[in-house]
Amino acid sequence: HGTSRVNDKGHLEIGGVDAVELAKEYGTPLYIYDVALIRARARAFKEAFRKQGVAAQVAYASKAFSSIAMVQLAEEEGLSLDVVSGGELYTAIQAGFPPKRIHFHGNNKSREELMMALDHGVGCIVVDNFYELELLEQLGKQYGKTIAILIRVTPGVEAHTHDYILTGQEDSKFGFDLNNGQAEQALVRTLSSSSFSVLGIHCHIGSQIFETTGFVLAAQKIFQKIAHWKEAYGFVPAVVNLGGGFGIRYTEEDDPIPVSEYVDQIVSEVKKQVSKQGIAMPEIWIEPGRSLVGDAGTTIYSIGSRKDVPNVRHYVAVDGGMSDNIRPALYEAKYEAVLANRVLDEKNEIVSIAGKCCESGDMLIWDLPLPKAKPGDYLAVFCTGAYGYSMANNYNRIPRPAVVFVENGEAQLVVKRETYEDLVRLDLPLKTKVNK
Ligand code: LLP
């Protein structure tokens, strides 16, 4: 997929660059991003909105993968940016991302984080709860500013890949409940306060979703309320943000639909609702993370040890694991992989790929057909671009891998590999009380 292909050495090539050469140059594990594919995904979303002739913002949910170069790429592609913490905001600011196109999310933003957002003049704050409303109201007064906000609502539509749970009152830590009056209470409170300018409504129904139904249902539920809010308070949203969650293909079990289909269904539902109510068409915002960067990322590992359990299983270990990809351990997520240096060799073995962390659950892939792998071979695991590096950790004091961008035959290092010195950089020695 993307610009990936097999070159005449039988090696995996991405963005016109030999992945085996990259592994040799930068070491393993190594995340490689196909920049052209990220651009194509971003353009597909934007093009879908353009075709529908509606004003829109496509915000990259930077939790999927945040780094300075990635934020700069998002900016180059005309995306907006969703940040959920002071750290993601700091990264965006360091990258020179225009603050007006940053949307600040999170269910427990601290006063310091909110002040940071106000100091930098972020475009809007997605308000999640009453505590935050109070904090923001004080800050609005303190700064003498009107703060542009979206109100995050929980519409009572929860989408899990293929099934939709519709509940009167969703059990979720996020947002104001749409169905029990909390959202309305938040709206009334913000409309009557000089600290706020209420841009509109936000919701996010889930992640790795393969159907449009959940988005359409969520839009319907929101607009049912808007009809009432217009009557009661004269409120008409300038923005309706329907969140992210568009699914991608990790393995053949996944069956994603084109992004244009989500956009078309969302836009036509909003158009329908708007004309029914005779109100102006709001800007439609979405915030994809995974679907912008997920399948653009590939992780290259070196093959190391092996354990054969006779008649049961062949364990083949790589030099990373749950430290660079926690998704299999956390969600039983499934991946596909090939030997990057022998892509076309006959797959004459079924093996299970183990990580190197001291935990039995640190398995990356079960039952993977591969050519007989030996030390010195490289394993390429596909679709690790979202929630891979961003959820990487130092369990077992394993340094986090480097990240390389490739495009048009050129590679650039965008995140350096962590070193052992980095690992102890924040450590301080023990003040000993024992006399030796
Ligand atoms: N907007 C909001 C408010 C979100 O909470 C999320 C993801 C997104 C947008 C982006 O969703 P996406 O388009 O990437 O599905 N760590 C998990 C995924 C957690 C998603 C959390 N929220 C994973 O590795 O699957």
* Cα–Cα distances in angstroms (integers) from residue 365 to residues 307, 326, 335, 360, 379, in the given order: 15, 12, 6, 13, 11
Same domain, 318 and 377: yes
Half-sphere exposure (Cβ direction) of 109: Cα atoms closer than 13 Å? 33
Q: What is the three-state SS of 373-418?
A: CCECEEEEEECCCCCCHHHCCCHHHCCCCEEEEEECCEEEEEECCC
Same domain, 318 and 226: no
Same domain, 304 and 409: yes
Same domain, 320 and 364: yes
Please determine, for residue 77, whether its predicted confidence score (pLDDT) is greater than 90: yes
CB 155 within 8 A of CB 162: no
Number of H helices, E strands in the chain: 12, 23
Same domain, 252 and 351: no
For residue 69, how many other CB atoms are within 10 A of its CB? Answer: 16
Q: Which atom of ligand 1 is nearest to the CA of 387?
A: 24
Predicted complex: ipTM over 0.85: yes
Pocket of ligand 1 (CB under 6 A): 61, 64, 82, 105, 204, 207-208, 243-246, 287-291, 327, 331, 386-387
CB 364 within 8 A of CB 326: no
- Identify the pLDDT of residue 161: 61
Q: Which residue's entry shows tokens 């995974």? A: 290
Give ∠ CA 343-345-351 in degrees, rounded to 5.
Answer: 85
Q: Is 275 among the domain residues? A: yes
User: Which among 179, 285, 270 has a CA at the least distance from the CA of 225?
Assistant: 179
Q: Is 381 exposed, middle or buried (0-12, 13-18, 19+ CB in 10 A)?
A: buried
Q: Which atom of ligand 1 is nearest to the CA of 287?
A: 9
Q: How far apart are CA 386 and CA 289, in angstroms?
A: 7
| 327 marked as part of a ligand binding site | yes
Q: Where are the beta strands (DSSP E) in 116-156?
A: 124-127, 147-154
Chain centroid to CA 182: how far?
28
Residue range 357-383: mean pLDDT, rounded = 98
Of the pLDDT bands very low, low, confident and very high (cuts 50, 70, 90), residue 1 is confident
Taking only the tens place, the pLDDT of each residue in 63-75 is 999 999 999 999 9
Q: Domain limits at 201?
A: 105-288
* Cα–Cα distances in angstroms (integers) from residue 147 to residues 122, 187, 304, in the given order: 9, 14, 54
Q: Is 55 among the domain residues? A: no
Which residue, by CA, sits nearest to atom 6 of ligand 1? 244
Same domain, 310 and 283: no
Of the pLDDT bands very low, low, confident and very high (cuts 50, 70, 90), residue 159 is confident
Same domain, 262 and 394: no
Which residue, by CA, sits nearest to atom 18 of ligand 1? 207
CB 354 within 8 A of CB 337: no
Q: How far apart are CA 26 and CA 31, in angstroms?
A: 10
- Identify the pLDDT of residue 433: 83
Greatest Cα pair distance, the chain, in angstroms, is: 83
Q: Is 391 among the domain residues? A: yes
Residue range 349-358: mean pLDDT, rounded = 98
CB 127 within 8 A of CB 151: yes
Same domain, 181 and 242: yes
CB 5 within 8 A of CB 338: no
- Identify the pLDDT of residue 157: 87
**Catalytic site positions:** 358
Q: How far is the CA of 289 from the centre of ligand 1 (A)?
A: 6
Same domain, 119 and 221: yes
Total structural domains within the chain: 2
Please determine, for residue 83, whether its predicted confidence score (pLDDT) is greater than 70: yes
Q: How far apart are CA 188 and CA 425, in angstroms?
A: 49
- Computed on alpha carbons and rounded to an integer, the radius of gyration of the chain in Å comes to 24
Taking only the tens place, the pLDDT of each residue in 106-120 is 999 999 999 999 999
Q: How far apart are CA 211 and CA 218, in angstroms?
A: 13
Q: Is 248 among the domain residues? A: yes
For residue 192, how many other CB atoms are within 10 A of its CB? Answer: 9
Q: Is 341 among the domain residues? A: yes
Q: Is 65 among the domain residues? A: no
Residue range 245-260: mean pLDDT, rounded = 96
- Global pTM? 0.97
Same domain, 263 and 343: no
Angle between helices 111-120 and 130-143 in degrees, nearest 10: 50
Please determine, for residue 167, whether its predicted confidence score (pLDDT) is greater than 80: no
Please determine, for residue 165, whether its predicted confidence score (pLDDT) is greater than 90: no
CATH of the domain at 314: 2.40.37.10
Please determine, for residue 291, whether its predicted confidence score (pLDDT) is greater than 90: yes
Which SS3 state, helix, strand or coil, does residue 229 take? Answer: helix
Of the pLDDT bands very low, low, confident and very high (cuts 50, 70, 90), residue 162 is low
Same domain, 305 and 353: yes
CB 241 within 8 A of CB 200: yes
Q: Give me the amino acid identity at 158.
A: E
Task: Ligand 1 pocket test: pick from 62, 63, 242, 384 the residue with the most ligand atoms within 8 Å of its Cβ.
Answer: 63
Please determine, for residue 135, whether its predicted confidence score (pLDDT) is greater than 70: yes
